[in-house]
Structure 1
């Protein structure tokens, strides 16, 4: 037997679903007021796991007691632990005071914060890694628009699932709203997914002030956003969140869910508690991504459903591993880390060279890409100071091709350490750059090859003087006019 969560009557399990559907229909908004007054208020719906199972029919008093128990427990569980909407979505801030982190661009006395506090919204491109607060800031701006409905109209789109026609429809409506003094704020998430031609759709309307564009992207705007559009918007650079900021976000989420944050485990705990150290661990393993941290917290809470329970670091570690690491093999971070590795080799810092190499290995970078960059570093930064470095780098690249990952990881580590410790000479690279500069700055045609340096495979070429040095002239190997040039 199971109890109906609407009318609290007992039914066979096979009949319960049909009865609940009937109960919901009778308690819907279409029922007249007289019927609503006769029927008591129903508690929030319960999950199947919370229904008490009875083998025999309870007495009326016992049934009434069960009703009150179910009502109280459902209030505690459903109100505070509802995850029909993801926790990260629930915790999006509604005001600047609720926004954590990004103090460099949204701290006190910053220009952007001052403008938003005055309800002034300008064209912006929000650029930053996932989970740093781009969508949260857009949500704050949306709330500002809601508070000023006669001044602003907010429309949110995502470039991943909309097209130019959707933008044009919004622009058409924005022109009509503008006649009544109402500005349209268009938030375009993942704006980099629009190609350059699609981004041209915004240009004229942003220029005329018909819409205020608020774009969000994880890609470098210098490469992914139309330069003409970029010049009309202010780029807001948002960094990864600090661990302290994510801890504050998690504590705020705990308060929202009715969870008590405690310093250490208590044996006589009431309700769900979580240790502060557990929140710190979640923050430190999220790689600056608040969405990852909140999702992990939600996962832990859904897994541990006991009413009297303390969530510790050990409990979290059982189900969550540190598997998230920001690294896009085609994006900005890809080039940032490979550059850091190369510069660490150049700076003879073997610890840093090994660290950045390992970061790429752990993140799943193509080992041949790392090895090719090491070959370049061996010639560019070490060169003739240690010719064996180039041989080792080439051997490392060939080794990676032969055995692949994960066995090739130690080859890359060995090469990175050797290159960092090797003596440095940038002579070849610097001389090459000077030679290129001389050739580039040459006015008119490039100098001809001196006759005595030319090959003479035929009799005609020999008759023309190919391969012969004119009498009285000194043998030189540079073209005429560049005899005294020194690249070294």
Structure 2
């Protein structure tokens, strides 16, 4: 049986009763000009424009396209627009449910459609990263022989998840997350468009703001929530979607949090102060408020990195690498999974021993410098790698620490005006207790105290019997 019969039947039903389709489907762009966001892909003369036949004709390019980007950024939409613009039949498969058998059936159908009807096929394969190497190999003949225009979508880095032969034969397009402005444009279009809600309801500013927050840059999520809320409002006999109606519909309360206002800074401050105070539960509460309000996860990660140095420091030297690793992970995976990474880091930082000695030390050093308390660098520390340095006394008398026992040379490093200045005052918390013992011994050696014998060293390190 020809697959076109099913496609035609589905199209016929949609044409007779467009309202039967979900709002996200009805509002699917029909041309590239209707696509929101992805401006870098839609510029005149771009590969995507050329793919749909716009611009000057040129040599045939790849017949396979890989769309890489987060959910809800328009991967399915772009595949559909390509099929519409090129008058090709559109077949959609998901790698979650389809296997080699289903792919081959589509390819066979495409060959019959091309030979019997002169109709070319766009095969949209969603989540191609879930296909095994063997399953991806099965696509190569269709791509090489141009039996189908393959458009594959993935949320994973294709250089790691797509086989090289397929990647080399494909045009790789990277989709960027939609901004709030992009989603707002789409929502407002859906409210008034004949394919959408046709002006049946309005959306007040506070409700729109909450809708954008829960959408999180996902156009499909925004339209799905809008459609459900519009239905609930109309069922109540209301022509306006109130905030309460949207909250009830999506089962998510509106968080009082303005990403560009006071709440942004107040909640961020409360998060850091809760970590500083070791209240892990309060820290998680504020973290959850920021996540739920759609805060940029990179902003949260940056605050955690600052906290690791400012409030934990040497009491737990592993805190900063952990926070940096969390920030890197967040940048790679994004929400919603990034919430787990941020929670992991927040808990670890809140429960870590605390020390602000590094903060106080650099603060005191900066204060002296700003007051002009500096002085010339001691001559023996100056650069001696140039002709005439010895004549000036530069680098003369410098003792190379690795040449003396203990690798600590009794010599002056600070300028004369600061030679007795002490900036770093370690605490006895966590791992920093070790530094508290070490720094005093080092300072003694720098002042000229003799290196201790092994017996004296053990005596200082081991507690005496009472």
Q: TM-score, normalised by structure 1?
A: 0.47
Q: TM-score, normalised by structure 2?
A: 0.49
